[in-house]
Structure 1
Amino acid sequence: MLDVTLPGTGGTMPLKNRWLTCCLLRAEGKSVLIDCGEGTQIALKSAGRSVQRLDLLCFTHYHADHISGLPGLLLSMGLEGRTAPLRIAGPVGLENVVDGLRVIAPELPFELEYTELTAETEMLSAAGMEITAFAVNHTMPCYGYRLTLPRAGKFDAKKARENGVPMQVWGWLQKKETAVYQGTEYTREQVLGAPRRGITVTYCTDTRPVPAITQYAQNADLLILEGMYGDPEKIAKAVETRHMMFTEAAKIARDAGAKELWLTHYSPSLPDPETYLPLAQEIFPETVCPEDGRTVDLSYPE
């Protein structure tokens, strides 16, 4: 199961009822956080979520509404007893950006480990998930993320016997990668069939529509895209600032064959996003406008 939460859904600046956009994904007892704007730790607490077991923090880009909450989050994690290293991934300049923000959080009881994204696509892994970072089109280097919780194949007794795997480790190998019995190591590939379809979430914000988004949103169980503007008259503004319209996000969801679309990163000039929701639903009916704290538990397909 993959738990997905949008603690905040706002873009540019927070409103009294809307924190800045971020996304928390939890699986196998660990989590991945995408972006950390002002107030993120408050939004997380309001949503009933913790980052004490955060395995990876991903930045889409370095505009303030996506990174300015980092110092407070790091300090709180330290005060709550974290000692394990924290991995952070983001575009070129990552360590310099974090160092600048850490002027007010210079001492932490845990190390920071950096993964700087430089290629058009980069592969990561965290919290049991396989993650693809892909470059998009904003006013500075910016990445979207495709996160997949894989699912192993079914146990195949015939295959296990043919590979000479003793029954004593059959159960173990359905849960773990390897097992040793009487001095011999066995792997789960020796007892399992082909991998089954996992759970995929694609998250992308602050960009114009580009083919890479559709590519990495293919057949996503949940697609989370920015809906900066809903009013059709805002299209020139969206193009100028390299953001997306509700209808543009809906077209991507339709073309990618996604199961559901969540819009996020609403402009502060958009106090009631649902006003323009029907425009998106005409293109992709499974479009919703989440409020802060929206959560879903995604299960493996049957």
Structure 2
Amino acid sequence: MIDVCLLGTGGMMPLPNRFLTALFVRYNGKCVLIDCGEATQIAMKKKGLSAKPIDIICFTHYHADHISGLPGMLLTMGNAERTEPLLVVGPKGLERVVNALRVIAPELPFEIRFKEITEDEMSFEPEGMPGFTITAFKVNHNITCYGYTMSLRRQGKFDVEAAQSAGIDRRYWNPLQKGETITTPEGIVYTPDMVLGAERKGIKLTYTTDSRPTDSIVRNAKNSDLFICEGMYGEPDKQAKARENKHMTFYEAARMARDAEVQEMWLTHYSPSLVNPVEFMPDVKKIFANSKAAKDGRSVELRFEEE
């Protein structure tokens, strides 16, 4: 199970009724925050979430509405007596940008570790999150910008008959089921593939903002259970402005959701001038029926499919 909370849905600036886009994800007791604009801490407080247990902060890019809340977030973590290291992920220049912001948050009781994205696509499995992979993929904005896909693998079912036929002692069943290779005191080696069936469908979440439509988004969002995508403009007459500013319309996002065959799409990162996103949804749903104009704090538990 993966807990997902879209903390805010605004772009450019926080508004009294709309915080800036940031995503909070929790799995296996570990927490990931994607983007940290101004007022992200307030959005977290409204949802009853604490900054202290955040293990990873990923940045899509270094525009202020996506990173200006970081110094305050770091200070709050420090004031909560956090001592565990924090992993920060982002495009080229990450350490320089973060350290510049830390001029106003210079002393922290925890270490900041950096993972800079230097390729068009990069994947890693965070420590303490077995089977959970974060993939950063380059999108098309007016500065270097990345989307993120988070995938949770689901191994095959444990085959009791196969384990019994192989004469595997029951004490080894549980570690084999967890994917561990066993070597007995007699030197016999047992591997997980001896007792596990084919890998089953896992969970996939894709988040992207500040981009024109790109093949990289469709490819990485393919078959996602949830696709969270920027919809800067809902007004049909804003197509030219979207192209000029390297942003997206609701309808372009819906076409990508359709082409990627996702289960559900939430729109986010609305222009401050967009007062009522819901009014444009009937036409969006004609393109991709399971589209939602997300509001701040929208949450969901993504679970494995029942069998």
What TM-score, normalized by structure 1, do the two folds share?
0.95
1:6-45 aligned within 5 A: 6-45=6-45
Q: CA shift at 1:205, angstroms? A: 0.4
State the secondary structure of the residue aligned to 2:234. coil
**Secondary structure in 1 matching 2:270:** coil
Q: Which amino acid aligns with 1:142?
A: C
Alpha-carbon spacing, 1:117–1:163, altered in 2? closer, same or farther (3 Å): farther
Q: Which runs of 5+ in 2 are unaligned?
A: none
Match of 1:225 in 2: 229
Contact 2:51 2:76 in 1 (8 A): no
User: 2:122 aligned with 1:122, yes or no?
Assistant: yes
Distance across 1 between alignment mates of 2:104 and 2:113: 19
SS of 1:301 mapped into structure 2: coil
Q: Quickly say closer, same or farther: Cα 1:56–1:180, change in 2 above 3 A.
A: farther
**Residue 176 of structure 1: CA displacement?**
5.9
% identical aligned pairs:
54
Cα gap change, 1:244 to 1:114, in 2 (>3 Å)? same
Which string of whole-angstrom CA distances, capped at 9 and with x for unpartnered residues, describes residues 90-146 of structure 1? 001000000111011011111111111111100122334211111000010000011
Are residue 131 (structure 1) and residue 173 (structure 2) matched? no
Partner amino acid, structure 1, of 2:214: V
Name the amino acid aligned to 1:78. Answer: G
CA shift, 1:157, in A, is 2.2
List aligned pairs for 1:1-302, cutoff 5 A.
1-126=1-126, 127-128=129-130, 129-161=132-164, 163-175=166-178, 177-178=180-181, 182=185, 186-302=190-306
Distance 1:45 1:187 in 2: 45
Do the aligned partners of residues 269 and 81 (structure 1) sit closer, same or farther apart at CA in structure 2, a change above 3 Å counting?
same
How much is the aligned-residue C-alpha RMSD, in angstroms?
1.6
Please report how far the alpha carbon of residue 180 of structure 1 lies from its aligned counterpart in structure 2 after TM superposition: 6.6
Contact 1:169–1:181 (CA<8 Å) still a contact in 2? no
Is the 1:91–1:117 Cα contact (8 Å) retained in structure 2? Answer: yes
CA distance in 2 between partners of 1:144 and 1:78 (Å):
28
Distance 1:51 1:156, change over 3 A: farther
- What CA distance in whole angstroms lies between the structure 1 residues aligned with 2:26 and 2:152? 10
Q: Relative to structure 1, is the Cα distance of residues 268 and 3 closer, same or farther in structure 2, using a 3 angstrom cutoff?
A: same
Secondary structure in 1 matching 2:218: helix
Pick closer, same or farther for the CA change 1:42–1:183 going to 2, 3 Å.
Answer: farther
Deviation at 1:66, TM superposition (A): 0.2
Which region of structure 1 is more displaced relative to structure 2, 118-127 or 244-253? 118-127
Mapped partners of 1:74, 1:300: distance in 2: 33
Identify the range of structure 1 (153-162 vs 29-38) with the bigger mean alpha-carbon deviation.
153-162
Between 237-246 and 184-193, the greater mean CA deviation after superposition: 184-193
TM-score by length of 2: 0.94
CA distance in 2, matches of 1:189, 1:78: 44
TM-superposition CA deviations, 1:1-31 (whole Å, max 9, x none): 1111001110000000111000011111111
Matched position secondary structure for 1:282? helix
Query: Deviation at 1:165?
Result: 2.9
How far off is 1:53 after superposition? 2.6
Work out whether residues 52 and 76 of structure 2, in 8 Å CA contact, stay in contact via their aligned partners in 1: no
Classify the secondary structure of the residue corresponding to 2:103: helix
Following the alignment from structure 2 to structure 1, what is the Cα–Cα distance between the partners of residues 157 and 51?
32
2: distance between equivalents of 1:178 and 1:271? Answer: 56
Partners of 1:262 and 1:301 in 2: CA distance: 20
- Aligned-residue offset at 1:247: 0.2
Q: Distance in 1 between matches of 2:186 and 2:106?
A: 49
What code does the residue aligned with 1:96 have? R
Bigger shift: residues 217-226 or 43-52: 43-52
CA distance in 2, matches of 1:64, 1:268: 15
AA in 2 matched with 1:210: T
